[in-house]
Structure 1
Amino acid sequence: MRTILTFFLGLRAIMLIGSAGAIVGALLMFLQGGYYLLEAWHIALATGEGFEHASERQVTVPVLEAVDAFLFGLVLVIFAYGIAIGFVFALPEGYGQRLPAWMKVDGIGQLKASLSEVVIVVLIVMFARVVVESGGAFTYEMLVLPASILMIAIALRMIDLGSGHAPNGNGDGHGKASVVPAKKETSENGPH
């Protein structure tokens, strides 16, 4: 029985393939974001007159695409870290307390929630790009994307509420109460 358990625990190293894939994907997204920024810079300077003569719409769209790519790359970095540290390696004692809150991964549910939130932000950026590209010529079909964003956000909120993670006002949105033990006051004669 012990050898079977050791064998299955050894298989967790396979998850490093997913972590490495997320890092490669993040690097590709950062390169793509850089390409979009270069494109925006090229458009702005292509007129020979500088930024003031470049069409605002022509520059805004590649910048929005760059922000989209950088954001998704950042989430992939968090995924890679979360998979490696959360499921494969164990952090040294006390090291986890020094990490910023966004790097603390409690489980696969938190990774899925992060991905869902990023999907919503990516859709919002896509809608902003569509609005900029339309140049003020709005149609009813353009409302499909914001309606989809709203439905996904409501579904995520319902899932969050259904799992007992209602926000508690401390800003984390995960329903975990911050409990700080009270200090005991001492004097020369002992505790009061």
Structure 2
Amino acid sequence: MSDNSPGLGKKLENSFERVLWSLRFIVLLGVIFGAISAIILFVVGSFEIFSVLNEAFFEVESHLSHETILIGLIGAIDFYLIGLVLLIFSFGIYELFISQIDIARSCGSFTNILEVRNLDDLKNKILKVIIMVLIVTFFQRVLDLDMASSIDALAMAISICLICIGVYYMGRHNI
């Protein structure tokens, strides 16, 4: 009876490890729904641009100001950037947990933007795009801001300066 115990234990261990390793495929849900969400955001961003252009050029009673047009277009850019975050996330977790995307590498069109070697790479790539989303959102809010005093203008100038400093250091330290 003692001869079978080590063999049975090893079989149980191998079976458990096989099941555990197969659980990595659960990330496919994140990949699929992340990609679907990215597609939706790209479509919504495109509709946003289309509606702004349609109202600006084809509606007779349109009284869109330059700021309103810019705010609409910048809002669409936000949708695109968030869609990019989801695409990078989908590609990254697929490559980390499932397999490399062979077709991208075989076509020669694979760039380092999508290459993810570990979770820190994925985090840094997503972080860069999120920071861009925040900058674009800030710019959108600045356009909509009603400056009532010189303090408002000073606060906006300081905010823009801090963003520039942050982007400079982010690029310099390769974050």
Q: TM-score, normalised by structure 1?
A: 0.66
Q: Whole-Å Cα distance in 1 between the matches of residues 158 and 41 of structure 2?
A: 26
The equivalent residue for 1:101 is: 112
Distance 1:59 1:127, change over 3 A: same
Residue identity in the other structure for 2:86? L
State the Cα distance separating 1:43 from its structure 2 match. Answer: 2.9
State the Cα distance separating 1:104 from its structure 2 match. Answer: 0.9
1:122 to 121, 133, 147: 133
Q: TM-score, normalised by structure 2?
A: 0.72
Contact 1:127 1:146 in 2 (8 A): no
Q: Whole-Å Cα distance in 1 between the matches of residues 101 and 50 of structure 2?
A: 39
RMSD of aligned Cα (Å): 3.5
Distance 1:39 1:96, change over 3 A: same
State the Cα distance separating 1:89 from its structure 2 match. Answer: 2.1
Q: Which has the higher contact order (CA 8 A, sep 6+)?
A: 2
- Partner of 2:113: helix, strand, or coil? helix
1:37 to 40, 49, 71: 49
Residue identity in the other structure for 2:132? V
Q: Whole-Å Cα distance in 1 between the matches of residues 29 and 164 of structure 2?
A: 34
Distance 1:6 1:143, change over 3 A: farther
The equivalent residue for 1:75 is: 85
- 1:25-46: CA deviation from partner (whole Å, max 9, x where unpaired): 1012112201210221133126
- Partner of 1:101: helix, strand, or coil? coil
Distance 1:151 1:7, change over 3 A: farther
Q: Whole-Å Cα distance in 2 between the matches of residues 97 and 86 of structure 1?
A: 20
Matched residue pairs, number?
A: 159
Identity percentage of aligned residues: 24
1:112 to 111, 123, 147: 123
Contact 1:25 1:76 in 2 (8 A): yes
State the Cα distance separating 1:111 from its structure 2 match. Answer: 1.4
Question: Structure 2 regions of 5+ residues with no counterpart?
Answer: 1-12
Q: Whole-Å Cα distance in 1 between the matches of residues 61 and 38 of structure 2?
A: 35
* 1:13 pairs with 2:13: no
